[in-house]
């Protein structure tokens, strides 16, 4: 491991420990930095448990600062996940402890490494409950486990956790883009030939035309291709494609994408609706709205009206304006840990409450702006019932359920019943992120 990559990893881990934001774009510039930072954060509570236990045995616990915690965390990951030898570790860290200003030395690294060799999970877990053991071994917050336990059996819950913990699992959807589908078949043939030539695994999506499923870990290869650079491909999560596709049925003269950034669902809709329509893509964040607008420019889309606004108090002169509304609401992201491992460690009652209050307000606003018999798609990339089924249950008296495609699993039961018109995508079943989705019409 190069010195620059090592110092970058330590610096980013220090920011993580201080609960400061770390720019994903900055991390992805270097593959080594991205790999180690992301994976250490992914398994943080497991690594931190080993760190606390071993540091306590060495009587170091009171002397650990953010820098030494970061260094020891890297050593734990290298030892337990990659079987790195002491010699490898000492060689990698030599540029650091050889510096006069270094806060850690070779003897401390050697002592810590040797302590890891004697670490015993059985001994360390001697006074832990079953819930605590699962939380640590699977590197998942106990809050997450408690929230999902009423709706999933243990085996299915762990399968979903394991899937989200594996960065290399899951598919992205690559939608081929061609104005009004002119030349789309030729584009499809050429792109498939490129995938075969470059040995990128793929499959034609069985549910949506002109979409190809590609493993998530090959996304960087797709973004480097001439097809993407020329604006012939739209890359989005497979679940997002399924959800956006739900809006294609019915009257789409006036469409609102309420929380539209980064804009991929809006682009998907423009490339899938061939009748006359007007689409407004709105977002609360000015920065994200500007980024979305840049993406629209990249695809030469001038027919999407972009608006930076608060969708809770949308600037309309009259109510009941839109024929269709897509509300992919802000949420805890509890179905996205595979690509957003940092979100794991934000899961707590306060974070969930903050999001559910926002969702309630957005959902009420969406229903208020929708015309009678207009279509509402409500979705969250969350596995919590509070952000899905319970939100819809609150407004069911104003909505009529619409049938979902068979690709979606049943939603959770509330009071012994499934909510008609709602469903779920599970990482362990659909090889996508975890989503709740509901499709409804507004009652006259």
Pairing between β-strand 203-204 and β-strand 211-215 as defined by DSSP bridges: antiparallel
CATH architecture of the domain with range 238-442: 3-Layer(aba) Sandwich (3.40)
Domain 171-236 classification at class level: alpha beta
Q: What's the mean pLDDT in 340-348? A: 95
DSSP secondary structure letter of residue 114: H
pLDDT of residue 302: 87
Tokens representing residue 58 in the block: 């060495």
User: What is the b/e burial string over 260-275, where b = at least 16 CB atoms within 10 angstroms of the residue's CB?
Assistant: bbebbbbbbbbbbeee
pLDDT of residue 171: 82
pLDDT of residue 27: 57
| Alpha helical stretches, state H, 58-150 | 66-80, 86-97, 106-117, 121-124, 130-137, 142-148
How far out from the chain centre does Cα 235 lie? 14
pLDDT of residue 217: 84
Cis peptide before 262, with omega less than 30 degrees from 0? yes
Taking every pair of C-alpha atoms in the chain, what is the biggest distance, in angstroms?
75
Where along the chain do its domains lie? 3-127, 171-236, 238-442
pLDDT per position as a tens digit, 250-304? 777 899 999 999 999 999 998 887 667 899 999 999 999 999 999 999 999 988 9
pLDDT of residue 220: 86
pLDDT of residue 236: 92
pLDDT per position as a tens digit, 168-217? 777 889 999 876 556 888 999 999 999 999 999 999 999 998 899 999 88
Give CA–CA dist 50/78, Å, rounded: 13
* pLDDT for 101 beyond 70: no
Beta bridge partners, 435, equal 425
Tokens representing residue 144 in the block: 């997450």
How far out from the chain centre does Cα 263 lie? 15
pLDDT of residue 20: 86
For 50-62, give the DSSP string. HHHHHHHHTT-GG
Tokens representing residue 354 in the block: 């903050």
For residues 437 and 377, the answer to whether their CB atoms sit within 8 Å is yes
Give CA–CA dist 349/365, Å, rounded: 24
* pLDDT for 26 beyond 60: no
- Quote the Cα angle for 252-258-263, to 5°: 85
pLDDT per position as a tens digit, 292-321? 999 999 999 988 999 999 999 999 888 789
Provide CATH code, domain 3-127: 1.10.940
- Characterise 184 by phi-psi region: left (phi > 0), alpha (psi -120 to 50), beta (else): alpha
Tokens representing residue 202 in the block: 């793929």
């Amino acid at each position: 491991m190069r010195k620059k990559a090592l110092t970058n990893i330590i610096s980013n881990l220090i920011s993580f420990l201080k609960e400061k934001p770390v720019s994903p774009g900055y991390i992805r510039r270097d593959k080594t930095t991205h790999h180690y930072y992301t994976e250490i954060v992914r398994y943080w509570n497991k690594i931190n448990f080993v760190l606390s236990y071993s540091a306590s045995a060495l009587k170091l616990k009171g002397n650990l600062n953010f820098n030494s915690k970061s260094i020891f965390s890297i050593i734990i990951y290298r030892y337990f996940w990659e079987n790195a030898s002491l010699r490898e570790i000492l060689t990698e860290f030599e540029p650091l402890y050889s510096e006069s200003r270094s806060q850690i030395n070779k003897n401390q690294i050697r002592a810590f490494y040797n302590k890891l060799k004697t670490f015993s999970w059985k001994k360390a877990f001697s006074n832990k409950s079953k819930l605590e053991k699962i939380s640590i071994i699977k590197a998942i917050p106990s809050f997450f486990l408690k929230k999902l336990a009423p709706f999933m059996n243990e085996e299915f819950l762990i399968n979903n956790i394991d899937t989200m913990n594996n960065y290399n699992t899951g598919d992205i959807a690559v939608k081929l883009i061609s104005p009004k589908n002119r030349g789309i078949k030729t584009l499809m043939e050429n792109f498939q030939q490129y995938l075969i030539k470059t040995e990128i695994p793929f499959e034609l999506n069985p549910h949506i035309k002109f979409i190809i499923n590609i493993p998530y870990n090959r996304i960087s290869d797709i973004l480097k291709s001439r097809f993407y650079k020329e604006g012939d491909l739209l890359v989005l999560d497979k679940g997002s494609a399924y959800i956006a596709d739900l809006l294609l049925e019915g009257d789409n003269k006036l469409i609102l994408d309420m929380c539209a950034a980064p804009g991929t669902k809006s682009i998907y809709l423009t490339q899938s609706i061939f009748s006359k329509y007007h689409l407004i893509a709105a977002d609360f964040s000015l920065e994200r709205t500007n980024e979305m607008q840049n993406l629209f420019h990249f695809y030469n889309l001038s027919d999407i009206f972009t608006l930076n606004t608060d969708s809770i108090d949308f600037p309309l002169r009259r109510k009941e304006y839109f024929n269709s509304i897509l509300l992919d609401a802000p949420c805890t992201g509890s179905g996205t840990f595979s690509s957003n491992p940092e979100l794991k460690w934000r899961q707590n009652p306060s974070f969930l409450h903050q999001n559910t209050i926002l969702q309630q307000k957005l959902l009420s606003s969406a229903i208020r702006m929708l015309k009678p018999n207009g279509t509402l798609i409500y979705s969250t990339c969350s596995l919590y019932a509070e952000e899905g089924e319970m939100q819809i249950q609150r407004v069911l008296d104003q909505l009529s359920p619409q049938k979902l495609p068979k690709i979606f699993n049943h939603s959770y039961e509330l009071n012994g019943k499934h909510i008609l018109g709602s469903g779920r995508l599970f990482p362990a079943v659909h090889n996508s992120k975890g989503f709740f989705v509901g499709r409804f019409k507004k009652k006259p």
